[in-house]
Structure 1
Amino acid sequence: MSNPRPVLVVTSLHDPTADVVIRELHDRDVPVVRLDSGDFPASLSVEAEINEHGLQGCLTTPSRNADLADIRSLYYRRPTGFAFPHLSEQDARFATAQARYGLGGVLASLPGCLYVNHPHRIGDAEFKPAGLTTAVDAGFLVPPTLITSSPDAAREFIKAHSSVIYKPIWNPVYLVDGVSSVVKVAEVSADDIDDDVAGTVHLFQERVPKVADVRVTVIGGEVFCVRIDSDLLDWRTDYSRLAYTLVEAPPGIRPALHRYMNRFKLVFGAFDFAVGEDGRWWFLECNPSGQWHWLEDETGLPMCAALADLLERKP
Structure 2
Amino acid sequence: MTQKRRPVAVVTNLEDPTADLVIDELHDRGVPVVRFDSGDFPATLSCSARIGGELTQWRGSVVTPSRVAELGDVRSLYYRRPSGFAFPHLDEQDARFAAAQARFGLGGVLVSLPDCLYVNHPNRIGDAEYKPAGLAAAASSGFRLPPTLITNRPDDARAFIKEHGPTIFKPLSVPLYLRDGVSQTVGVAEVAVEEIDDGVAGTMHLFQSLIGKDADVRVTVIGDQIFAVRIDCDLLDWRTDYTTHTYSVIPTPPDIERAIFAYLRHFGLVFGAFDFALTRDEWTFIECNPSGQWAWMEPPTGLPMTAALADLLERGTNATR
Q: TM-score category by the smaller chain?
A: over 0.9
Structure 1 counterpart of 2:48, one-letter code: E
Matched residues in 1 for 2:223 and 2:271: separation? 6
Say which of 182, 185, 201 aligns to 2:185.
182
Say which of 280, 283, 287 aligns to 2:282.
280
Residue 309 of structure 2 corresponds to which residue in structure 1? 307
Say which of 123, 146, 154 aligns to 1:143.
146
Matched residues in 1 for 2:240 and 2:299: separation? 19
Under a length normalisation based on structure 2, what TM-score does the superposition of the two structures give? 0.96
Matched residues in 2 for 1:310 and 1:39: separation? 27
Structure 2 counterpart of 1:226, one-letter code: V
Say which of 76, 82, 86 aligns to 1:83.
86
Matched residues in 1 for 2:211 and 2:75: separation? 42
Superposition map of 1:70-219 within 5 A: 70-219=73-222
Residue 18 of structure 1 corresponds to which residue in structure 2? 19
Partner of 1:210: helix, strand, or coil?
A: coil
Residue 258 of structure 1 corresponds to which residue in structure 2? 261
Matched residues in 2 for 1:282 and 1:93: separation? 42
Deviation of 1:279 after TM superposition, in Å, equals 2.0
Superposition map of 1:13-92 within 5 A: 13-51=14-52, 52-53=54-55, 54-92=57-95
Partner of 2:81: helix, strand, or coil?
A: coil
Matched residues in 2 for 1:34 and 1:99: separation? 18
Say which of 290, 293, 298 aligns to 2:292.
290
Under a length normalisation based on structure 1, what TM-score does the superposition of the two structures give? 0.98
1:7 aligns with 2:12: no
Structure 1 counterpart of 2:16, one-letter code: D
Say which of 239, 245, 248 aligns to 2:248.
245
Deviation of 1:251 after TM superposition, in Å, equals 3.1
Matched residues in 2 for 1:160 and 1:298: separation? 41
Matched residues in 2 for 1:251 and 1:19: separation? 33
Partner of 2:113: helix, strand, or coil?
A: coil
Q: CA-atom RMSD, angstroms? A: 1.0
Partner of 2:214: helix, strand, or coil?
A: strand
Structure 2 counterpart of 1:32, one-letter code: V
Deviation of 1:183 after TM superposition, in Å, equals 1.6
Deviations 1:125-146 (A, max 9, x none): 0000000000000000000100
Matched residues in 1 for 2:187 and 2:74: separation? 39
Structure 2 counterpart of 1:288, one-letter code: P
Structure 1 counterpart of 2:281, one-letter code: G
Q: Which runs of 5+ in 1 are unaligned?
A: none
Partner of 1:75: helix, strand, or coil?
A: strand
Identity rate, percent = 66
Residue 270 of structure 1 corresponds to which residue in structure 2? 273
Deviations 1:210-245 (A, max 9, x none): 000000000000000000000000111110000001
Q: Which runs of 5+ in 2 are unaligned?
A: none
Matched residues in 2 for 1:251 and 1:187: separation? 32
Matched residues in 2 for 1:226 and 1:182: separation? 22
Partner of 2:66: helix, strand, or coil?
A: coil
Matched residues in 1 for 2:194 and 2:51: separation? 59
Deviation of 1:104 after TM superposition, in Å, equals 0.2
Deviations 1:157-204 (A, max 9, x none): 010012100000001111112211022100011101000000100000
Matched residues in 2 for 1:97 and 1:141: separation? 40
Range 168-177 or range 24-33, more displaced: 168-177
Partner of 1:79: helix, strand, or coil?
A: coil
Runs of 4 or more above 6 Å deviation: none
Matched residues in 2 for 1:11 and 1:108: separation? 15
Deviations 1:97-119 (A, max 9, x none): 00000000000000000000000
